[in-house]
Chain A
Amino acid sequence: MKKVSFLIFFSILIIIFSLLFFRSKGSFSSVDSGITRIFSPVGMVFSNSTGGIRSFFTNLGNIGNLQKENANLKDKNNQLEAEVARMSADIKETESLKRELGFKNDSGFNTIPAEISFFDPTNVRETVIVDKGKNQGVKTNMAVTSEGTLIGRVTEVYGNSSKILLITDPFSAIPAELTTIDATGLVQGQVGMGLVINQVPQETDLKKGETIVTSGLGGQYPKGLILGTVENVNKQNNSIFQSASLKTLVDFKSIERVQIIKD
């Protein structure tokens, strides 16, 4: 009995290595696409319903803080209105300068809206599957945002679905810059620990709450997309660079809808 079991296990191992070989040759794209097509619609129904449940419980837990938060937001709103009035004049001037200099206007991206069907089950890699693919114009390496924040890029495209590598994945590295100071760094994901910005020059005055955006270096991501805000700065005197953990502006586990940036 155990001998037969071992034989089955051994033959399955051979099948796995064959699968690995054929996949590396690109022979499996239709199989991948087929499986994704079968599972995506049901996954989306599950994903959307669980997202709603999570939001409900989160809001219920925070009800005590809502009044305080509301008062703070009213104050902030008044400040912002005043700021908007001042900035609208600046925008007119900036737009005119941009046109003059031939810069591409970063706002008004052409996007494809998509919904998340599945999350990676292992909790080691941070990938999600969305319900838009090649047939809707999605291509690999397109940047993906949610609520105005960069959340990842497209790594694999199937017929009607795509795989997105989130910025919180340990293999994600994004050239970034600070919004208030002229300094750059590299935003990377960490297993179970969110985002960190590394390689920030030691002399840079990193402050808590500082907004970090994409620098556009390397051309993989458009310039100026929000990545997060500085939370804890890790500065060591004997090091050339400093690092800091970042607070993301969106809860990656609650995201339901995303925007895939076409151009």
Chain B
Amino acid sequence: MTTALNIIIFIAAFFLQTTFLPRFNVFGLVPNLLLIIVAAFALYGKTYESYVYAFVAGLVLDTLFGGPYGFHIAMFMAVVFAASLFSGEEDTEAPSQLGIIFTAVASLLFYGILWLVVGFGAKNFTLNGGVFSLEEAGVTTLFALIILPLARRLFQFEKRAAEVRRVQ
């Protein structure tokens, strides 16, 4: 996809994540839209570009909000790194199920680690942190079921368009 469109997608996702979704939460749960977008870019887009977007998105979130500084950067970068191990460069033919399973696992780890890193401790993790992580990962995966196939289509479309341009 073009750089301008990528930036627009990230900015829109950021504002939706920080203004819209907290107000329209699903039973108090807020899906992690930015994590889904980072995963989509990492799975179907260019790896280097994904690192840049993940870094910038993480930096903005870490700067604006509470919690340990660098957490979002590290987690988003780790998502890109893990995705680069599972899928190839611009692998738009990879099955959608792979992306959804990847996002589900990534969001589960994201919230689990966040719970521990924020300082709630491992003592009550099983009862509270585990349930919370499962719930948040669940709602994030539900959103990923809709967003990832759409993102994959977009990347496929842009990849074909780029090939046509190259042939011409």
A191 neighbours in B (Cβ, 8 Å): 120, 128, 132
Q: Judge whether A46 and B19 touch: CB under 8 Å.
A: yes
Residue among A32, A35, A120, A253 with the most chain B CB within 10 A? A120
Q: Judge whether A13 and B77 touch: CB under 8 Å.
A: yes
With an 8 A cutoff between CB atoms, is A241 at the interface? Answer: no
- In angstroms, Cα B27 to Cα A218, docked, is 35
- In angstroms, Cα B135 to Cα A6, docked, is 31
Min distance, Cβ A55 to any Cβ of chain B, angstroms: 10
- In angstroms, Cα B35 to Cα A52, docked, is 27
Choose one: B20, B60, B66, B81; the contact of A39 (CB below 8 Å): B60
Q: Judge whether B23 and A13 touch: CB under 8 Å.
A: no
- In angstroms, Cα B32 to Cα A118, docked, is 15
A47 neighbours in B (Cβ, 8 Å): 19
* SS of B interface (majority): helix
- In angstroms, Cα B95 to Cα A154, docked, is 47
Min distance, Cβ A133 to any Cβ of chain B, angstroms: 13
- In angstroms, Cα B91 to Cα A30, docked, is 40
Min distance, Cβ A173 to any Cβ of chain B, angstroms: 14
With an 8 A cutoff between CB atoms, is A200 at the interface? Answer: no
Q: Judge whether A125 and B67 touch: CB under 8 Å.
A: yes
A169 neighbours in B (Cβ, 8 Å): 66
Residue among A1, A6, A12, A31 with the most chain B CB within 10 A? A12
Choose one: A23, A42, A125, A171; the contact of B69 (CB below 8 Å): A23
Q: Judge whether A121 and B65 touch: CB under 8 Å.
A: yes
Min distance, Cβ A161 to any Cβ of chain B, angstroms: 9
Q: Judge whether A121 and B18 touch: CB under 8 Å.
A: yes
With an 8 A cutoff between CB atoms, is B109 at the interface? Answer: no
Min distance, Cβ A144 to any Cβ of chain B, angstroms: 15
With an 8 A cutoff between CB atoms, is B97 at the interface? Answer: no
In the complex, identify which listed stretch (B1-9, B110-118, B149-157) lies at the interface while the others stay far away: B110-118
Min distance, Cβ B8 to any Cβ of chain A, angstroms: 13
Q: How many residues of A contact B (CB 8 A)?
A: 47
With an 8 A cutoff between CB atoms, is A5 at the interface? Answer: yes
Min distance, Cβ B38 to any Cβ of chain A, angstroms: 13
Choose one: A17, A19, A54; the contact of B24 (CB below 8 Å): A54
A42 neighbours in B (Cβ, 8 Å): 15
Q: Judge whether A13 and B19 touch: CB under 8 Å.
A: no
Min distance, Cβ B52 to any Cβ of chain A, angstroms: 10
- Considering the complex, which residues of chain B in the window 94-136 have a beta carbon less than 8 Å from any beta carbon of chain A? 111, 114-115, 118-120, 128, 132, 135-136
Q: Judge whether A121 and B69 touch: CB under 8 Å.
A: no
Q: Judge whether A119 and B19 touch: CB under 8 Å.
A: yes
Min distance, Cβ B79 to any Cβ of chain A, angstroms: 11
Q: Judge whether A20 and B69 touch: CB under 8 Å.
A: yes
A123 and B29 contact, Cβ closer than 8 Å, known pairs A16-B74, A23-B69: yes
- Considering the complex, which residues of chain A in the window 186-228 have a beta carbon less than 8 Å from any beta carbon of chain B? 191-192
With an 8 A cutoff between CB atoms, is A124 at the interface? Answer: yes
- In angstroms, Cα B115 to Cα A253, docked, is 21
Q: Which residue of the partner chain B has the closest CB to A38?
A: B60
Q: Judge whether A39 and B64 touch: CB under 8 Å.
A: yes
- In angstroms, Cα B62 to Cα A32, docked, is 9
Min distance, Cβ A9 to any Cβ of chain B, angstroms: 4
Choose one: A5, A117, A121; the contact of B17 (CB below 8 Å): A121
- In angstroms, Cα B114 to Cα A117, docked, is 23
Min distance, Cβ B24 to any Cβ of chain A, angstroms: 7
B68 neighbours in A (Cβ, 8 Å): 20
- In angstroms, Cα B61 to Cα A39, docked, is 11
Contact with A along B67-102 (1 / 0, CB 8 A): 111100110011011001100010000000000000
Q: Judge whether A125 and B65 touch: CB under 8 Å.
A: yes
Residue among A9, A12, A124 with the most chain B CB within 10 A? A124
Closest 8 CB pairs of A and B: A119-B22, A46-B19, A16-B70, A123-B30, A118-B18, A9-B81, A125-B66, A47-B19
Q: 9 A–B contact pairs at CB < 8 A? A: A9-B77, A9-B80, A28-B63, A32-B63, A35-B60, A46-B18, A47-B19, A125-B67, A163-B65
